[in-house]
Structure 1
Amino acid sequence: MNDTDAIDLALFVFRCGLGAVMLAHGINHIWGGGKIEGTAGWFGSMGMKPPLVQAWLASLTEIGAGIALVLGLLTPLGGAGLVGTMTVAFVINHRGNGFFIFRPGEGWEYVMTLALCGMVIGAIGPGGWSLDRAFGIEDDLIGWTGLALSAGAGLVGAGLLLATCWRPPPPKTAD
């Protein structure tokens, strides 16, 4: 084993961990608890319109990003899915709750960390143990290109989604 093997192993574990988190989120939104209808109700309560479409869009993005990251296939696009969904989660649910996840309403440390990880994996690439490497496309997708794809597509996608589909509910007033 050499240093390259250690880096490839670390990137493989990192990618699979991120991918597993995204897969778990997407699968849970569709089949867990209240199923997709419950997710749609929750999204609707936060002002996402139309809520069922948004629930499916978020869930399928999380699943697609998770698969891309686990396989190391078009890795910056998997990173973009992570950046985009976590940016939307930050804006519509977490930003007003403080930094720490254990605060009431769940703070934003978790979604920030995942979004940053999506940007990082896009820039540094999936490593040698990936389909990007097997298909010979890894070198075309790392560095500035990977960062632009993961951060740019994620943030632009989130911004467009929020601008067109998010109508925050009015603030709750004390009775």
Structure 2
Amino acid sequence: MPLSTSTSTHTAALRGTNSTLTPAQYGGDIGLLLLRCAVGLTMAVHGSQKLFGWFNGAGLDSTAGFFASDGYSAPKTMATVAGLTETLCGLGLAIGLLTPLAGAGILGIMLNAIAMKWGNGFFSPAGIEYELVLLTAAVSLALAGPGRFAVDHLLPVPRAHRLSHGITAVALGALSAAVVLVALHN
């Protein structure tokens, strides 16, 4: 069913342009919104499990013990940073706030998770497939941008997503993961 002119015009007005959206553009933006919410809220729940023990999570002390058992120095700091990154970047991704940076944060977390599970094969329950899917989705969102239905479009900065922002953020996320692995993992 085609979009009505009033709906298209209203949506375009939210973007700050005079153009109308095609059904394909509208569908693409809804798809990005759904992907952002699925990945972002999944990560936010995982972060709250680490930080607060919510949703049957381990809590900060148990998560710190897990990091210690895997050879990370400063395990309490690692648990706190991982929990905060998952929670804040997850929520940012879900609402489309600083989307490339939120995706980069999730990339960094997932690269560390993959490194921890690397010898366990690809498939679940102990493999890397789940982490790889989240990593790929986060990188895809960082590169593609949040779509039109995002807080990023309300910020007083350039509203048009630039691929260069996404590439820079992804490089930053990968670099931060490498620094953590080299400096803090024994």
TM-score, normalization by structure 2: 0.82
**1:99 equivalenced with 2:99 (yes/no):** no
1:79-98 maps to which residues of 2 (within 5 A)? Answer: 79-92=103-116, 94-98=117-121
Output one character per residue of 1:19-64: Cα deviation in whole Å (capped at 9) or x when no partner. 1111011001122243100000011000111100000000000011
Larger radius of gyration: 2
1:87-166 maps to which residues of 2 (within 5 A)? Answer: 87-92=111-116, 94-102=117-125, 106-135=126-155, 137-139=158-160, 141-149=161-169, 151-166=170-185
Output one character per residue of 1:127-173: Cα deviation in whole Å (capped at 9) or x when no partner. 0000112225342x432321331x21111000001111111xxxxxx
CA distance in 2 between counterparts of 1:152 and 1:109 reads 22
1:8, distance to aligned residue in structure 2 (A): 1.1
1:112, distance to aligned residue in structure 2 (A): 1.2
Point out the more displaced range, 69-78 or 2-11.
Answer: 2-11
Which structure has more RCO (C-alpha within 8 Å, separation ≥ 6)?
Answer: 1
The amino acid of 2:177's aligned partner reads: A
Query: Does the 8 Å contact 2:49/2:58 carry over to 1?
Result: no
Query: Does the 8 Å contact 1:27/1:63 carry over to 2?
Result: yes
- RMSD over equivalenced CA pairs, Å: 1.3
Output one character per residue of 1:80-110: Cα deviation in whole Å (capped at 9) or x when no partner. 0110000001112x110001013xxx10111
Which 4+ stretches in 1 moved above 6 angstroms?
Answer: none
Q: How many residues align?
A: 161
TM-score, normalization by structure 1: 0.87
The sequence identity of aligned pairs, in percent, is 33
CA distance in 1 between counterparts of 2:109 and 2:143 reads 18
Q: Which runs of 5+ in 2 are unaligned?
A: 4-22
The amino acid of 1:126's aligned partner reads: P
Correspondent of 1:48 among 61, 72, 85: 72
Residues 138, 119 of structure 1: CA spacing in aligned structure 2 closer, same or farther, 3 A cutoff? farther
Correspondent of 2:35 among 14, 39, 46: 14
Q: Which runs of 5+ in 1 are unaligned?
A: 168-175
